[in-house]
């Protein structure tokens, strides 16, 4: 697929890993939507229901209504999922 996937980053201010993810996306010209979960337990509840985690960052990546979540810490996980969406 030639278009970039839609990317949603669930994060909170002061989170080193969240900043690392956003910097990586920006450095590689990916646009993304940010959802700030700080002080909002309802949003963490959403993450728990959807993916079984309450931590951030969580990165949702998808095309054509199909999304995959990256819940593991480490840019290698993010890179792998982004690559699979660019190839498909």
19-68 pLDDT per residue, tens? 999 999 999 999 999 999 999 999 999 999 999 999 999 999 988 778 89
Tell me, rounded to whole angstroms, the distance of Cα 69 from its chain centroid. 7
Domains of the chain: residue spans and CATH? 6-87 (3.40.30.10)
Sheet containing 66-70: give its strands across: 33-36, 6-11, 58-63, 66-70
Global confidence as pTM: 0.89
Rounded Cα distance, 53 and 44, in Å: 8
Cβ count within 10 A of residue 80:
13
- What is the chain's length? 88
Local confidence band at 87 (pLDDT 50, 70, 90 cut-offs)? low
Task: Find the angle CA(34)-CA(36)-CA(41) to the nearest 5 degrees.
Answer: 140
């Amino acid at each position: 697929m030639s278009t970039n996937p839609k990317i949603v980053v669930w994060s909170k201010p002061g989170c080193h890993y969240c900043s690392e993810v956003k910097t990586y996306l920006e450095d590689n010209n990916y646009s993304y939507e940010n959802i700030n979960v700080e002080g909002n337990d309802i949003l963490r509840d959403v993450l728990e229901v959807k993916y079984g985690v309450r931590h951030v960052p969580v990165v949702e990546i998808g095309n054509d209504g199909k999304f995959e979540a990256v819940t593991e810490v480490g840019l290698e996980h993010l890179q792998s999922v982004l690559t699979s969406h660019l190839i498909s």
